């Protein structure tokens, strides 16, 4: 009887041990599975419509940065997963893209957007949600409840426009007409250029602002050159091709200066843009340019360098923490980063300072002047 009882007890103990081992294996597997879950990062970019080249350059650069960290084993063994959303350059779509990434995809952070108007639209949401956003773009401080979230990886365009005004004035240009659009970023750079040029002693003959997608702009271009200014300043990407084409058709012979131009615009304006000088971020570091061209068979264009830097800044935060609130705290302490687009400095009030250069277009190709 005792032998039978002891045998029963032994069987029960063995069953309990087996169940305990199975439970331990299951819990270990679950923990390992959780540890290996991807780190989800959203990227909301201008990927379709006019200006999509900007978003596509951003996407390629972000992919490069993520492939590099994932190829090296990820972050503590966890891979980064990028979930892309196309804003189409539309403010309402930017807001819906943000909400999808946060509420449905449950991303840890967001890279983007590309446009000032989009950044302005999502800034209050990011602040309210305490969600880290790092953008290869710029938005005025007045439109950012938290000056360092979104973290802006783009030179303050007011400073950039003022630097261009100083350059133009240094070339003995004394009268300028400004052509821009009512897009918030382009209106900002147009008026900032005009204000600085007048402060230097120059004369602004007129400031003409079209709608970004306006088809008929001949009237305002005609008005802008009616007094034959020494130069015309194009504070626009949206209407750069239209304005330039009409300036040529009207026989304007003065100098043309511009805000940022990428390789696409330079190529598309080949029949009229030789000699156009513009300001933009300084040349990307050679290592990045070579890496980008090897991967995609094309030269890197803006804002690829800033997007690559934005991704790597976020990655540097993720290596320290994968908690949203802790990343936002790190963003508040962020001061500078030496990236492929140069030395990026964020002032205590949230303004962004980055190196610039002057370029000229020759036969559809962009060359650095100084």
Q: What is the pLDDT of residue 316?
A: 98
Q: What's the gap between Cα 285 and its chain centre?
A: 17
Q: What is the pLDDT of residue 11?
A: 52
Q: pLDDT at residue 341 above 80?
A: yes
Query: What is the rounded distance in angstroms from the CA atom of residue 243 to the CA atom of residue 230?
Result: 17
Q: pLDDT at residue 44 above 90?
A: yes
Burial of residue 214 (number of CB atoms within 10 Å: 0-12, 13-18, 19+): middle
150 with 238, same domain: the answer is no
Per-residue confidence band for 50, with pLDDT thresholds at 50, 70 and 90? confident
Q: What is the pLDDT of residue 30?
A: 47
Q: pLDDT at residue 35 above 90?
A: no
Q: What is the pLDDT of residue 16?
A: 63
Whether 330 maps to a domain, the answer reads yes
Q: pLDDT at residue 162 above 60?
A: yes
49 with 149, same domain: the answer is yes
pTM of the model: 0.83
Q: Under DSSP, is residue 233 helix (H, G, I), strand (E, B) or coil? A: strand
Query: What is the rounded distance in angstroms from the CA atom of residue 9 to the CA atom of residue 7?
Result: 5
Q: pLDDT at residue 8 above 80?
A: no
47 with 147, same domain: the answer is yes
Whether 366 maps to a domain, the answer reads no
239 with 132, same domain: the answer is no
Whether 337 maps to a domain, the answer reads yes
* The token pair that represents 222 in the structure block: 């005609």
Q: Is 55 in contact with 45 (CB distance < 8 Å)?
A: yes
- Alpha helices per DSSP H over the chain: 2-35, 52-71, 91-99, 116-129, 157-170, 184-199, 218-224, 240-249, 263-268, 286-296, 304-318, 324-333
172 with 243, same domain: the answer is yes
- Please, which residues bridge with residue 78 across strands? 75
Whether 165 maps to a domain, the answer reads yes
Q: What is the pLDDT of residue 139?
A: 92
112 with 170, same domain: the answer is no
140 with 164, same domain: the answer is no
Q: In what order do the strands lie in the sheet with 39-45?
A: 80-86, 39-45, 109-111, 133-135, 151-152
User: What is the pLDDT averaged over residues 139-165?
Assistant: 95
Q: pLDDT at residue 31 above 90?
A: no
Instruction: For residue 47, say if its preceding peptide bond is cis, omega within 30 degrees of 0.
Output: no
Q: What is the pLDDT of residue 323?
A: 97
* The token pair that represents 66 in the structure block: 């993520």
Q: What is the pLDDT of residue 15?
A: 54
User: What is the pLDDT averaged over residues 222-248?
Assistant: 98
184 with 251, same domain: the answer is yes
Owner of token pair 């609130």: 325
Q: What is the pLDDT of residue 221?
A: 98
Whether 29 maps to a domain, the answer reads no
pLDDT digits (tens, 9 = 90+) for 73-127: 999 999 999 999 999 999 999 999 999 999 999 999 999 999 999 999 999 999 9
170 with 142, same domain: the answer is no
pLDDT digits (tens, 9 = 90+) for 237-256: 999 999 999 999 999 999 99
- Domain holding 227, by residue range, is 157-259
Number of other CB atoms surrounding residue 277 within 10 Å = 19
Of 355, 357, 197, 361, whose CA–CA distance to 277 is shortest? 361
pLDDT digits (tens, 9 = 90+) for 309-329: 999 999 999 999 999 999 999
Whether 187 maps to a domain, the answer reads yes
Number of other CB atoms surrounding residue 104 within 10 Å = 9
Q: What is the pLDDT of residue 222?
A: 98
Whether 270 maps to a domain, the answer reads no
347 with 205, same domain: the answer is no
Query: What is the rounded distance in angstroms from the CA atom of residue 332 to the CA atom of residue 351?
Result: 12
Per-residue confidence band for 279, with pLDDT thresholds at 50, 70 and 90? very high
Q: How many domains does the structure of the chain reveal?
A: 2
Q: What percent of the chain has pLDDT over 90?
A: 86
Tell me the CATH number at 326: 3.40.50.2300
Over the chain, what is the mean pLDDT?
92
User: Who has greater pLDDT, 30 or 133?
Assistant: 133
Q: What percent of the chain has pLDDT over 70?
A: 91
Owner of token pair 């750079």: 189
Whether 276 maps to a domain, the answer reads no
Q: What is the pLDDT of residue 244?
A: 98
Of 277, 280, 334, 328, whose CA–CA distance to 304 is shortest? 280
Q: Under DSSP, is residue 106 helix (H, G, I), strand (E, B) or coil? A: coil
Q: pLDDT at residue 27 above 70?
A: no
Q: What is the pLDDT of residue 202?
A: 99
């Amino acid at each position: 009887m005792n032998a039978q009882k002891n045998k029963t007890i032994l069987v029960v103990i063995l069953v309990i041990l087996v169940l305990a081992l199975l439970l331990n294996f299951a819990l270990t597997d679950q923990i390992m599975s959780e540890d290996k879950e991807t780190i989800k990062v959203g990227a909301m970019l201008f990927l379709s419509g006019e200006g999509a080249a900007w978003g596509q350059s951003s996407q390629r650069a972000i992919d490069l940065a993520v492939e590099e960290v994932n190829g090296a084993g990820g972050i503590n063994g966890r891979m980064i997963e990028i979930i892309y959303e196309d804003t189409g350059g539309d403010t309402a779509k930017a807001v819906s893209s943000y909400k999808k990434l946060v509420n449905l995809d449950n991303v840890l952070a967001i890279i983007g957007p590309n446009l000032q108007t989009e950044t302005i639209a999502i800034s209050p949401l990011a602040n309210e949600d305490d969600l880290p956003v790092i953008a290869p773009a710029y938005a005025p401080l007045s439109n950012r409840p938290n000056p360092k979230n979104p973290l802006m990886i783009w030179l303050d365009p007011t400073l950039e426009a003022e630097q261009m005004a100083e350059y133009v004035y240094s070339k003995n240009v004394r009268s300028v007409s400004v052509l821009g659009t009512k897009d918030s970023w382009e209106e900002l750079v147009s008026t900032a250029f005009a204000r600085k040029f007048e402060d230097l002693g120059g004369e602004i003959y007129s400031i003409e602002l079209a709608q970004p997608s306006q088809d008929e702009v001949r009237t305002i271009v005609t008005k802008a050159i009616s007094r034959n200014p020494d130069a015309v300043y194009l504070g626009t990407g949206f209407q750069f091709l239209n304005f330039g084409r009409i300036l040529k058709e009207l026989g304007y012979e003065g100098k043309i200066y511009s805000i940022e131009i990428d390789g696409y615009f330079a190529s598309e304006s080949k029949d009229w843009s030789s000699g156009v000088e513009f300001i933009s971020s300084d040349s990307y570091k050679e290592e990045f340019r070579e890496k980008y061209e090897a991967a995609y068979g094309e030269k890197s264009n803006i804002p690829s360098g800033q997007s690559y830097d934005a991704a790597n800044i976020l990655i540097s935060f993720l290596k320290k923490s994968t908690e949203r609130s802790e990343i936002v705290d790190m963003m508040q302490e962020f001061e500078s980063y030496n990236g492929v687009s140069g030395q990026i400095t964020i002032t205590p009030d949230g303004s962004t300072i980055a190196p610039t250069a002057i370029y000229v277009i020759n036969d559809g190709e962009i060359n650095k002047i100084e």
